[in-house]
């Protein structure tokens, strides 16, 4: 085995949803830096194009294609376009997500429930369903789902979000079990507290942040960049015998550290 090529994605087509900012943006930049042809996707075409343009300026191969992961017509149009343009897909990273409601789970409004299910679960499910069909034709591929430690241990006042992330972990296991024979590996990462727009409300409170991070074994807030290597490992030849697993990347929070 040529160990120098384990994280080489040259010739691979990689789709990252939720790639216009935060964790998804850093993931798509990581793949591009390692030779992949990347598809930058989120709901906003202009935001996707800004990321894709900066990747191209740095010498990478990137194209922007907006799609709302919670709308099936958008998902189908995206994968039809990928099939026509690139002949299929080698790697899918489901990174798009939303958390529209903070409060007691029993008070969750129906609109927030539906939005969270659509974006965090329905979208990744059908994107994965389309991706495996294309990967079967190519003789294999890899899917990496960006779940959350809240899928392992429900976050306080984040019940519906936590439920969808738990379902995403189970979905990862189901796809891995059923498509491994086709050379398709399906894994997930579980980020902890990461500095993104979703956690910005907490980051504005210095006292709260000190309380949170001081209890972590690695006593700091995670950065989107911290997630990149884990995703790339799971999508790469280095993880050729790894499927159906969940990589926790939380600074040690789930060891018992935390609030």
Instruction: Check residue 252 and report its DSSP letter.
Output: T
Q: Which of 161, 179, 233, 253 is catalytic?
A: 161
Instruction: Check residue 80 and report its DSSP letter.
Output: H
- Note if 161 is an active site residue: yes
Rounded to the nearest 10 degrees, the angle between the axes of helix 123-138 and helix 159-179 is 20
Residues 6+ apart with CB under 8 A from 29: 51, 55, 60, 228
Residue 139: count other Cβ atoms within 10 Å of its Cβ: 11
- SS3 at position 21: coil
C-alpha distances (whole Å) from 144 to each of 73, 237, 242, 259 are 22, 13, 11, 28
Torsion angle (degrees, nearest 10) of CA 119, 121, 124, 128:
-160
CA distance 20 to 1: 35
Catalytic residues: 161
């Amino acid at each position: 085995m040529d160990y120098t090529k384990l994280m080489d994605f040259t010739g691979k087509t990689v789709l990252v949803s939720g790639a216009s900012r935060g964790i998804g943006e850093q993931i798509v930049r990581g793949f591009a830096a390692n030779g992949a042809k990347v598809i930058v996707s989120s709901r906003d075409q202009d935001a996707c194009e800004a990321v894709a343009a900066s990747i191209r300026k740095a010498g990478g191969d990137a194209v922007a294609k907006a799609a709302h992961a919670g709308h099936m017509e958008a998902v189908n149009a995206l994968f039809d376009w990928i099939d026509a343009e690139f002949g299929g897909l080698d790697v899918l990273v489901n990174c798009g997500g939303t958390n529209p409601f903070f409060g007691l789970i029993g008070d969750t409004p129906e609109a927030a429930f539906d939005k969270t299910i659509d974006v965090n679960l329905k979208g990744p499910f059908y994107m994965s369903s389309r991706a495996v069909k294309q990967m079967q034709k190519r003789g294999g591929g890899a899917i990496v789902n960006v779940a959350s430690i809240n899928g392992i241990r429900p976050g306080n006042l984040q019940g519906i979000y936590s439920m969808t992330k738990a379902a995403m972990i189970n979905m990862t296991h189901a796809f891995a079990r059923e498509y491994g024979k086709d050379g398709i590996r399906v894994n997930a990462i579980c980020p902890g507290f990461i500095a993104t727009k979703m956690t910005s409300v907490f980051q504005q409170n210095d006292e709260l942040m000190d309380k949170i991070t001081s209890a972590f074994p690695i006593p700091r807030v995670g950065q989107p960049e911290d997630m990149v290597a884990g995703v790339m490992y799971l999508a790469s030849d280095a993880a050729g015998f790894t499927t159906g697993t969940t990589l926790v990347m939380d600074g040690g929070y789930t060891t018992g550290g935390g609030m």
